[in-house]
Amino acid sequence: MLISTILSEEKPALVAIPVTIAAFAIAPSTLPESIGISLITVLMYTILALSWTMFSGPTGYISLATAGLFGVGVYTTAFLRDSLPLEAVVLLGGAAAFVVALTIGLLTLRIKGVYFILFTFGVAALMRTSVQWWETHINGTVGRHVTAATNETVYLLLLIIFAATLVAAFLLRHASPGLALLGIGENEDAAEHVGVNVTRLKVLTFAASSVLMGMTGAVMATRFRYIDPSIAFNPLISFLPVLMAILGGVSKLYGPMIGAAILVALQEFLITEYPYVYLLIFGLTLVVVVLWLPGGLVELAQKGYFRLKIQWIKLRMRLTRFRRTRQAKRR
Amino acid sequence: MIESAIDIVITGLILGGLYALIAVGLSLQYGVGRVLNVSHGEFIILAALTTYSLYTVTGIHPLVAIAFIAPALFVVGFVLDRTIFNDLRRTSVNEDHFEGRSLLVSFGLLFVIQNLMLMSWGAGLRGYSVLNTPVEILGNRYGLNRVIALVVAVTASVGFYLFIRHTRVGKAIRAAAERPDVAEALGVNRKRVLAICFGLGAGLAGLAGVLHSMMFDIQASRGIELTVIAIVVVVVGGLGSITGSLFGGFLLGLVIAVVNFIDPSLSLVAFYLIFILVLLVRPAGIFGRQIHAD
């Protein structure tokens, strides 16, 4: 059932997904080095935006806990970097994020709508402030140094996580859990009535998508080299994936990826010299997208394409009419 | 021991008066308009920084500044609701959809206002001292400014209660909060009432901001903490209940005073811990949809 629908309906995706992964794989060696470095950031945010969309896209539950789950990964690396191989640390970072997300999920079972948004925001903030307090008052330190990994290693690990994210997100869209998640987004009670185990599905999807966030954090720690709670749990890491996803549009897999590329480009241009301008633009974009671009750029492009198509058909009709009248005149 | 206990209680009261005022504004915006305005704290800081500049540059006394800062923010809030939130309301499929979208938009506003402030005032602490002659209460000394701030905050809250309870506009607000459809059928201009509510919320934030600047040093980036305080107070005290806000405000003020007494560095952890606990224990239940007159 699954394979046959994919084969019949999603042929372009079957080509597009391997092509995207391959493009990212050869990009660093073909592009100039300055752009190649930013690709790490692009990959990081693409993974975060895609994994955020896996849960929040279909269900409509907007999570602002991303920074917390990312930070768990970062701190896993900070503690274990020198005692275990990096691959194992990354897996452990994902596992730690899974456990934290599972706890958050179980706690928020009854919380809906704006309360869910606020709760997830509060959890990430609580993690940031408590780690801050714990580090300064118990360990007597502000931040930690992390043994760096080469850019190639970081990129390769992120690429693997990215490929896993893309495949997982694609399968989720077509497997029955994905449809059930959409059902939850439409009407949670109705989904429950038709036999969806709403609680289990919500919590597990949230936790599973968090594994990707934790692993990304674990990899990125080796790139940051120095970390402290305000870097690891930076609230912006919660907000950016949300904006990237809704700016691009959650209806297609490439929506969040487009959003991530645009915002990372903006960030690379502005953040070092004009951080306030960057965040100002970020806020304005958030307002504008929610107000006037509810389907994101994907929907905008689809609408534009549709309009162009209509214009084209109209033009052709006029042309035929013109030809006919001319022929009639000649006769 | 007894003296420090009394000190904690009085400090808690002073903090609580401010918290209550902050919460009343937020609960008005959410209770009637369904906009959970997370940029509320930003409005407060904006008013506080404006007061700071007015006082240090032109010498205008903060208590005088209230007279034009609060109305100015009322206008800003009114216009915001008329434009952005009215548009959102029109294009949302249902109330939950609107609440989620308006929360995201107010997060956007938070980033906009915060960074405009950072661009104009920088990231450092800003403070001035005014009316800081010590006043002795039950054996402890407090700055006169703090006592005045408490008095103004409580007076404003009570005045606002009377306004909601007895004036025509207040009755329209209550009606619009309780039964929007019926209110509209009876001739309440709902759009205008919603805009007035958002404006009043922003205006109260302005008043709170002026008082805040009289008591503490201000930092452009710390508005979100005030928003978190406001949400906690609203959930504890009950949405739209002004006496509830006063009660919740004083309760939270007391808790924060105790935490500050034990270890001031824990206050942020305490804020967020209380925040998520409150959301967990009383999700939606206490957030009714009425603006009570009690």
Q: Which CATH number is B158's domain given?
A: 1.10.3470
Amino acid found at A75: Y
Instruction: Single out the residue of A85, A256, A90 nearest to residue A160, CA to CA.
Output: A90
Residue-level pLDDT at B267: 83
DSSP A144: E
Q: Report the number of distinct structural domains present in chain B.
A: 1
* Model pLDDT for residues B63-104, shown as the tens digit of each residue: 888 999 999 999 999 999 999 999 998 888 888 888 888 988
Q: Which residue of B has its CA nearest to A246?
A: B104
Alpha helices in A81-150 (DSSP H): 86-107, 113-137
Domain assignment of residue B243, yes or no? yes
* Probe site for chain B from A291, A292, A299 (most B CB atoms < 10 A): A291
User: Quick one: A74 exposed, middle or buried, by C-beta within 10 A (0-12, 13-18, 19+)?
Assistant: buried
Minimal CA separation from A60 to chain B, in Å: 9
Neighboring chain B residues of A291 at a CB cutoff of 8 Å: 84, 87-88, 105
More confident residue, A98 or B264: A98
Using CA coordinates, name the residue in chain A closest to B38: A118
Q: Which residues of A279-294 are buried (b: 16+ CB within 10 A; e: fewer)?
A: bbbbbebbbebbbebe
Q: Kindly give, in sequence order, each residue whose CB lies less than 8 Å from that of residue A141, ignoring residues fewer than 6 positions away.
A: A135
Note whether A14 contacts B: Cβ–Cβ < 8 A: no
Which positions ≥6 away from A321 have C-beta within 8 Å? none
Topology of domain A2-294, per CATH? Answer: ABC transporter involved in vitamin B12 uptake, BtuC (1.10.3470)
Domain that holds residue B99: 2-123+137-281
What pLDDT, on a 0 to 100 scale, did the predictor assign at position A7?
60
Query: Is the pLDDT at B288 greater than 50, yes or no?
Result: no
Torsion of CA B17, B20, B21, B25, to 10 degrees: 180
Q: Angle, nearest 10°, between helix axes B62-80 and B40-53?
A: 140
Q: Verify whether the Cβ–Cβ distance A280 to B111 is below 8 Å.
A: yes
Does the CB of A294 have a partner CB in chain B at under 8 Å?
Answer: yes
Q: Which tokens go with B171?
A: 């009755």
Q: What is the Cα A153 distance to its own chain's centre?
A: 22
Using CB atoms within 10 Å of the CB of residue B155, give its burial: 0 to 12 exposed, 13 to 18 middle, 19+ buried.
Answer: exposed
Instruction: State yes or no: pLDDT of B7 exceeds 90.
Output: no
Give the pLDDT band of residue B281 (cuts 50, 70, 90): confident
Give residue limits of the domains in chain A. 2-294, 295-331
pTM of the model: 0.87
Q: Does B163 touch chain A (CB under 8 A)?
A: no
CB A131 within 8 A of CB A75: yes
Query: Shortest CA distance to B98 belongs to which of B33, B40, B39, B42?
Result: B33
pLDDT at residue A200 tops 90: no
The minimal CB distance from B269 to the residues A62, A119, A133 is found for A133
A304 to chain B, any CB pair closer than 8 A? The answer is no
Interface of B with A in 75-94 (CB under 8 A): 84, 87-88, 91
Dist CA B217 CA B49 (whole Å): 10
pLDDT of residue B44: 95
pLDDT at B278: 83
Q: Is B58 a residue whose pLDDT tops 60?
A: yes
Asked whether residue A210 carries a pLDDT value surpassing 70, the answer given is: yes
Facing B269 at nearest CB: one of A123, A129, A290: A129
Give the nearest chain B residue to A131 (CA atoms): B269
Q: Which residues of B touch A126 (CB under 8 A)?
A: 269, 272-273, 275-276
Q: Tell me the pLDDT tens digit for each residue of A230-270.
A: 899 998 899 999 999 999 988 888 889 999 999 998 888 88
CA distance B240 to chain A (A): 17
**Total residues belonging to chain B:** 294
pLDDT tens-digit readout, A264-291: 988 888 877 888 998 999 899 999 999 9
CA dihedral in degrees (B172, B174, B179, B180; nearest 10)?
Answer: 50
A41-50, A126-135, B142-151, B284-293: the lowest-pLDDT one:
B284-293
The more confident residue out of B238 and A161 is A161
Q: Do A277 and B104 touch (CB under 8 A)?
A: no
Those of residues 248-277 in A touching chain B at CB distance below 8 A are 276-277
- Measured between alpha carbons, how far is residue A124 from residues A55, A107, A128 in Å? 17, 14, 6
How many CB pairs lie under 8 A apart between chains A and B? 109
Measure the CA–CA gap between A1 and A7, rounded to whole angstroms.
10
